[in-house]
Amino acid sequence: MAIISLINLKGGVGKTTCAVALAETLAGHFKRNILVIDLDPQTNATIALVGVARWEQANRAGQTIRQMFLDEFVPREQRSFTIANCFIPRASNVEECQPHLWVLPSSIDLIGMEALVELVRSASEYRVEPFEVLSQHLTPSVARAFDDILLDCPPSLNAITLNGLFLSDAFLIPVIPEPVSTLGIPQILSRVRGLRRAFGREVPALGILVNRFDNTSMKNGPHTQICAQIAETPGYPPLFATYLSERQKPVLALRYEIATRTLQEKYHEPGHSSARTLPTDEALRRIAGEVLERCAALPTA
């Protein structure tokens, strides 16, 4: 089993889109039992996988990660959050994915709570660090029910994101091959390395996933050059061998109302001449397969 956080300091790079599409591919094609944990207050991954109605029901019932953090500020006997009761089953609008996909939902009411989460240690009767809250609930016995767990993190390295990183075996950085999207890579790597002492271990980078690659430009166009620069930069994690093209449609991952029976129905479109930008469904299968290979090669504790 692997626990992977998807992070980037820049919004708009398709992080949530990649998280949802990767989760669906692992569930639908590889038949792995997948839990998606939505740590992003924007709640896009949750709504993309279970729709507005099911999210609203969970939010009203206090069955989101917001309640998990709020419970740290009340005595243990008064807490209402039980993580196993908050997993929403049969996630995804793709029928073949639903038996293998669950979501731990976020809440838009989590917006603005980052500063409150930072105060967890002073409020907790057990002196829990702000980055340890999720791990207190998602214990090994709970996590064992899943083959893999993906965490969609906010576009920052605040205390909420650190909850995901602390729990993770590795992290993955989705980028679009444009300067603004890639400028934050050194900051991410440096900050995660700096967490080693607090975490008591290092969280390795699984790789950099290129999204929205413009395969219509010339062979040595800007996107190609930026990808080459990333690949050649010392200390950067390796690129995934397959790119997601700008002309492909993984953005459909976020359209819950468009139900399909199979992943191919949802994601397939004609291929392109570039070997790196395949039809979306095939590209996602290759990326998911490479994720599994890289996870299998991670050092064990």
pLDDT in tens, 196-221: 999 999 999 999 999 888 766 556 67
Instruction: Tell me which DSSP letter residue 103 carries.
Output: E
Q: Is 76 a domain residue?
A: yes
- pLDDT band of residue 275 (cuts 50, 70, 90) is very low
Amino acid symbol at 110: L
Q: Is 9 a domain residue?
A: yes
Domain count for the chain, please give it.
1
Q: Is 226 a domain residue?
A: yes
- pLDDT band of residue 239 (cuts 50, 70, 90) is very high
- Element housing 152 (H / E): strand 148-152
Which pair of tokens denotes residue 14?
């398709």
Q: Which of 70-76's residues contact partners 24+ apart within 8 Å by CB, and which partners? A: 72/120, 72/123, 72/124, 72/128, 72/133, 73/116, 73/120, 73/123, 75/125, 76/125
**Structure pTM?**
0.93
Provide the residue range defining the domain that includes 247: 2-296
Q: Judge contact between 181 and 175, C-beta under 8 A.
A: yes
Q: Is 172 a domain residue?
A: yes
pLDDT tens per residue across span 222-233:
888 889 999 999
